[in-house]
A and B are shown apart, each in its own frame.
Chain A
């Protein structure tokens, strides 16, 4: 059996993006980052503040809701931190880490969540970026995730730039890419799943990247394993993953 099953690699590596004492935000339509924040609360012994778009502060529900906007992420909270509050927190630079999703991502961690094809006459109308265009350039650190790792999702040129800014990490089912936004540099391969080679990842990636510093992703810790098992929402998390995605073949 592989070490990482289904959505586990994405969830755990999104959780690993959190640093001690940060204020962290997970938004709408973001089941995997929601799970990552809850996993981090259970698995790591350092303090951090978890804000959810539902308005809750540091709420760790017993049962993971299906919607990352669900009031279950508010129940038991001693405060309601409203939409205006967390946008203002981000735009004055005090929301340390935010999670954002995308349909397409380029080497600079810019995202397209708007349209495939011409914006005015799209082949596929995508959901839109939510607050990404406002938060991505203003929050100090942005973590992206993409559950389909392919040349059509990780691209050299975006069809539309929905948001650009302070992307520091991109997590896919196979790899963790990182960059320093202060240097406006391209993403480089930081770690990869131990059973997947950097060459295989390159073949699946539409933008060129430096793999010189890449090492295998550290094994899941027993605390991370225990937290995942305690969350016990594997069907819910795996539902976020593309069907029939295999690295070899397909």
Chain B
């Protein structure tokens, strides 16, 4: 085995307090949720979350007082559960400082960082109070169309963490289904970490290289975590565990402890 395969705990320890982290997936779907829980278990503090549509992940970090800053576009538990309660409380209490985006403005910032330019244009935004709130600038078309375009600054997360279906020992990561925003995210971040459902051979990935979302040379480390997107879904392997989401949303420290103990990676540890 090469040095890229590490334990989930080692992966979480490699993310220092104060880091800005871009999480893959969207809402309850294909998020690197085992890693998020492991950050809570290691007592992470002062993190920044960068994600267009977080939910369970940012709510869990807010509940554990691990997150102090965020760039988000829309935040909810979704799946009929409504708003993310701990995230909401953290903002209303002033514990979490939000930079409110419009999803595509985060993607544009990531694209800028990925392309190595200091800012990127994004359509629309005019008429929204987000323009003044974020002090985003506009530029006149230097080629003379007369059109004014909003530009947003580059966003380069310290770390990107995505959950993949399959990974080989060299870190090549295959994803089935929607890439969500994981493509620009993994190109923009300074470091890329992967959790993956299964370890597979490089020959297997080479049969359909177009399914590899991140090539191994860009990936620093990988942890193999079965059911790593729980309680969310991983297409096509498993669906959302709505009972577990409901149990997570029960208030109180005990409910949180029960949720963390019920997670697949904690169960695997107990069995080992």
Contact = CB atoms under 8 A, between A and B. Distances in A.
A67 B179 contact: no
A13 interface: no
Interface stretch (B69-77, B214-222, B248-256): B69-77
Contacts of A183: none
Interface stretch (A128-136, A190-198, A222-230): A128-136
A109 B29 CA distance: 31
Contacts of B73: 128-131
Interface class of chain B by DSSP: loop
A167 to B, nearest CB: 11
B146 interface: no
Interface string B129-159: 1100100000000000000000000000000
**Range of interface residues on chain B?**
35 or more
A123 B92 contact: yes
B74 A127 contact: yes
A67 B79 contact: yes
A69 B29 contact: yes
Interface in A11-36: 28-29, 31
A135 B179 contact: no
B53 A71 contact: no
Interface string A41-63: 00000000000011100000000
B28 interface: yes
A161 B240 contact: no
Interface string A69-84: 1111011000010111
Count chain A CB atoms within 10 A of each CB in B75, B79, B122, B133 and give the residue with the most: B79
Nearest to B27: A69
B124 A91 contact: yes
A190 to B, nearest CB: 23
Interface stretch (A114-122, A148-156, A169-177, A204-212): A114-122
Interface in B209-263: 233, 235-236, 239-240, 242
B92 A122 contact: yes
Contacts of B103: 83, 87, 130-131, 134
Contacts of A165: 124, 127
A163 B127 contact: yes
A135 B124 contact: yes
A92 B52 CA distance: 21
Contact of B26 (A28, A132, A137): A28
A136 B124 CA distance: 7
A84 B123 contact: no
Nearest to B180: A83
B266 interface: no
Contacts of A121: 94
A131 B88 CA distance: 19
B130 A74 contact: no
B124 A127 contact: no
A104 interface: no
A131 B177 contact: no
B102 A130 contact: yes
Count chain B CB atoms within 10 A of each CB in A126, A127, A130, A239 and give the residue with the most: A127
Contacts of A160: 129
Contact of B78 (A67, A122, A123, A138): A67
A156 to B, nearest CB: 17
A91 B74 contact: no
B233 A71 contact: yes
A84 B235 contact: no
Contacts of B72: 128
Which 6 pairs show the lowest CB-CB distances between chains A and B? A164-B127, A71-B235, A91-B123, A55-B178, A133-B102, A130-B74
Interface of B: 26-29, 52-53, 72-76, 78-80, 83-84, 87-88, 91-92, 94, 98, 100-105, 107, 122-130, 133, 177-181, 183-184, 233, 235-236, 239-240, 242
